[in-house]
Each structure stands twice: as structure tokens, then as C-alpha cells.
Structure 1
Amino acid sequence: MKNIIITGTSRGIGYKMVQCFVEAGHKVLALSRNLEPVEKLKLQNCTSMSCDISKENDIAIVTEYIKNEWEQVDVIIHNSGFLINAPFSEIKMSDFKKSYEVNVFGVAALTQAVLPFMNNDGHVVNISSMGGIQGSVKFPGLSAYSSSKGALITLTELLAEEYKESGPSFNVLALGAVQTEMLEEAFPGYEAPLTADEMAQYIMDFALNGAKFYNGKILQVSSSTP
């Protein structure tokens, strides 16, 4: 039984991952601004906590929980994401800022808070996007989202280098299109080749076993151009 932290658990891939990990026999701390969806599942070995990773006070509460209830974290999966699809000439700078607060700064802050509780065999898994891969196909309207996901990729590489002697391992999964509520909101009518259930299972397997084989690596998880 391992202690797993997952962010962005109110819907989509994060919501499905919570169920996958619990069913596999692990303890889960599910973090999301909306804790009700996971709470309604009434899962054993799962704690749902309201948390906005862009707020210091919320992260402090998470730290206290770990200190009092777990003492150790084995895996953290940074799945939270903010996506806005808008032409660059029209996008509000507040939305641009929020993209980075959630997709980059919040990841950095929560990681910094959790690292003291992780051993050298721990695994930090950052969920990025194919849009953040240099040289990949880019799509109009995603200037804030894709650029922030690119920054997350570079952050992952830097942390892997900085902690390569002491651990934990840091890796990033650059996902292609997955059929989620967020995708439908950004691209109404688009049909993705993978379901949230399928991707959740893949991420779980990688989070539990990937640190044995990878550190500081970018894995492109996409069967299609997006």
C-alpha cells in the first residue's frame, strides 16, 4: 500500500485515477477545489480535500495532513490543469496568469511542500500536454495553455537534475487528446481517441513503476496528432 497524492480530482482523468489507485489497494489524498465528486464515491482509504494549489494557505493544510496522518508520500501526480481556448489578441492577461498559476506555479509550490515527506524511491509525475512539446503540432487559441505546459516540462527536467542524487524521481507525461470534460469545453464536438478511464489506468501504472526506468524524461502519450 502506497500513499498517493493526486491533484485535479473533481472530474476527468484525475477523478478516474482516484478510483484506480484505491481499487489497487493504495491510500489516496485527492486534491481539488471541488471535493464533492470524490466524496460521493465514499471510497475507503481515500481522503478528499478542498485545495487550490495556487494558494499558500491551502497547501499548508495539505502539509499538515501529511505530517499528522501519513508522514510519508510515495507518489504525487500533478494532474490539475487550466485550459482556455481563445485567440491571443483576445485572451485576458488574467487568464494567461491563471494558466501559469495552476499549470506551473501551483505545481512548484505543492512539490516544494511535499518533498520533505518523500524518500529517494518516490515519484513525482507531472501531467503536461503534447502542445508543450517543442516541435509538436500547435493549435491556435492555446497560447496560454500550451506555453505553460511547456514550462512544466522544463521544470520537470530541472528538478530531476537537482534531485538525481537524493531522489525522488521526476518525470512528465505529455498527453495527447483524451475525452474529458475539459477537452469538450475547449473543443466542442471533438472526439478523442482515448477515454479518461484508459488514460487513468496508464498513468497509474507509470506512476507506480516508471521511477525504476525513468528520471527527468518526457514521455509523449499520444496516438494522434493532438
Structure 2
Amino acid sequence: MTKTVLITGASAGIGKATAIYLAQNGYNVYGAARRIEKMQELKALGIKTISLDVTKDESLVGCVEQILKETARIDILINNAGSGYYGALEDMPISDAKYQLEVNIFGVARLIQLVLPTMRKNNYGKIVNISSVGGKITLPMGVWYHASKFAIEGLSDALRKEVKSFGIDVIVIEPGGTKSEITGLGAEYMLSVSGNTAYNTLAKGVANMYAKVEKDAADPIVIAKLIKQGIEANNPKTRYVGASGAKIMLFFRKILSDKFLDKMIMSQMK
């Protein structure tokens, strides 16, 4: 039976690449995003598109209800939509921090709530949460982004234990440097809020580091293939790591002390 997949944040980057790749491999794919106009290419490939704002409950409910009405099932949920605002904690408005957490954690949790009843009924489901190497390792200026991704890691670990007996797997994807507009937008925002404050030197250093990372960033198809590997495994790993610099950074996280890792990371902020 053809599996039905819902992918959020499908208008660009990892979400778009994954929607296309899974559709090419026989999945019934629904791509969801705020910018419906950016998903015309997906429509041309037979992917169904849905307007979705993960910060609005009525939008989340409407999205799931539409898919269940059309297919009666959601077999795989890929929580990919994300916000990447960077800036010093002292400088960032709490309203922007709250928005980032709404997108990166509360929207994810609410969507999971909405798909679980059908998955439990079918005794089958795959919930894929896109985290980041930034869910294990932090950079300065990334306070709220990292807080949200660390939260995704914890949410996923607890949820995995709750739903395993219902035939549902929870999979975390931890990308490293991946080509995405979120990086550029995050750096732009960071310079707007911290580029002229006491943190301006550090903000510029982080922006320079980001520019270097973008040059070596992996194509999103690398992560799309990891996701396919995870959802097709009978007994998937709890975490899949991929893209530029991911494995080496997580290795350093394991073997180095916090303070030594801090020094190594800060040495790159020039």
C-alpha cells in the first residue's frame, strides 16, 4: 500500500528536496508551507500542496483534516518547518524568541498530537523530527534556536517511549551544514538586532563563520536520502546524522570537555 507522507516547510531546502525525492520513490506526498506560491514546482510533480502556518492551531487542524478526508491516513509525518533567528539573548525581543519556539517546538508538538490518533488506530506510523547538530552543540548568538532544537531532541526521546507500543517510530534527523535560505535569513536578522550593540564584534564573527559554512554546505538531497533510509527501516535508528561537518562535530562533542569545546568553537568566530 502506498504510504501517505506529510512534510512541513516544503517550500524550500530540506523540505522541498524531501518532498520531491519521496514522491519520485512512490510515496503519496503532501507538502505543506506558508508560502504556497513557492510550491508550484511540487504541484507539477504530482505532490499535493497545502497552505500551513504551524503557529496557528486552526491551520494545523485544517491541514490534518484535509489529508485524512482525502486519504484516511497519515503514515509518515516529517516535521521540517523551522525558524532560525540568531542574535544575542540580551538584544533579541522576547516576542521573536516566542515566535521561534512556536515554529520549532510547539507547532511540532501540536502536529504530532493531531496525527497520533490515526497512527495508533492503524498501529503504524513514522514521526520524523528535523533537529540539527545545533540540538547538541551551541554557537554564540543562537540562544533561542539552540533552545528549540535541544527541546526537539528531548521531546523526541520521551515521545519515542510513549508511542513504541502502538507501532509508531520516532526518528530524529541531525543535519550539519546544508544549503538553505534559513542560514542567510538568520545571519541577516542577527546583524539587524546585534550588529550595533555591545555584541557587534561577535555578531560579525558569527556572520563570517556562517558565510564559510555556506560555501561547504551539502545539498539538501543528502538529508532527503537519510530520511528515506529512516522511514523505510523496520527498526530505524533513533538518530540519523548527515551533511557538512555533522559527524565530526558530534564526535568532538562526545570527547571534549565543555570548556575545551567552547574554546574551539569561539576560535572560529573571527
Give the distance between the partners of 1:170 and 1:204, measured in 2 at CA: 14
Q: CA deviation at 1:47?
A: 1.2
Counting strand residues as a fraction of each chain, which structure ranks higher? 1
Q: Please, what is the CA RMSD of the aligned residues?
A: 1.8
Residue matched to 1:150:
150
Q: CA deviation at 1:168?
A: 1.1
Kindly, what percent of the aligned residue pairs are identical?
30
Give the distance between the partners of 1:72 and 1:140, measured in 2 at CA: 42
Give the distance between the partners of 1:206 and 1:192, measured in 2 at CA: 25
- Whether the 8 Å contact between 1:120 and 1:169 is mirrored in structure 2 is no
Letter in 2 for 1:201: K
Aligned length: 220
TM-score by length of 2: 0.76
Letter in 2 for 1:127: I
Residue matched to 2:55:
54
Please state if 1:214 is matched with 2:236. yes
Secondary structure at the aligned position of 1:42 is classed as helix
- Whether the 8 Å contact between 1:22 and 1:43 is mirrored in structure 2 is no
- Whether the 8 Å contact between 1:26 and 1:45 is mirrored in structure 2 is no
What residue ranges of structure 2 are gaps of 5+ in the alignment? 188-206, 251-270
Give the distance between the partners of 1:115 and 1:193, measured in 2 at CA: 34
What residue ranges of structure 1 are gaps of 5+ in the alignment? none
Rate the CA distance shift 1:89–1:147 in 2: closer, same or farther, 3 A. Answer: same
Q: CA deviation at 1:151?
A: 0.4
Secondary structure at the aligned position of 2:158 is classed as helix
* 1:99-133 deviations in Å (ceiling 9; x for gaps): 11011100010111111222333100000011111
Residue matched to 1:196:
220
Rate the CA distance shift 1:78–1:41 in 2: closer, same or farther, 3 A. Answer: closer
Give the distance between the partners of 2:45 and 2:179, measured in 1 at CA: 27
Please state if 1:117 is matched with 2:109. no
Structure label with greater radius of gyration: 2
Counting helix residues as a fraction of each chain, which structure ranks higher? 2
Give the distance between the partners of 1:74 and 1:202, measured in 2 at CA: 18
Residue matched to 2:160:
160
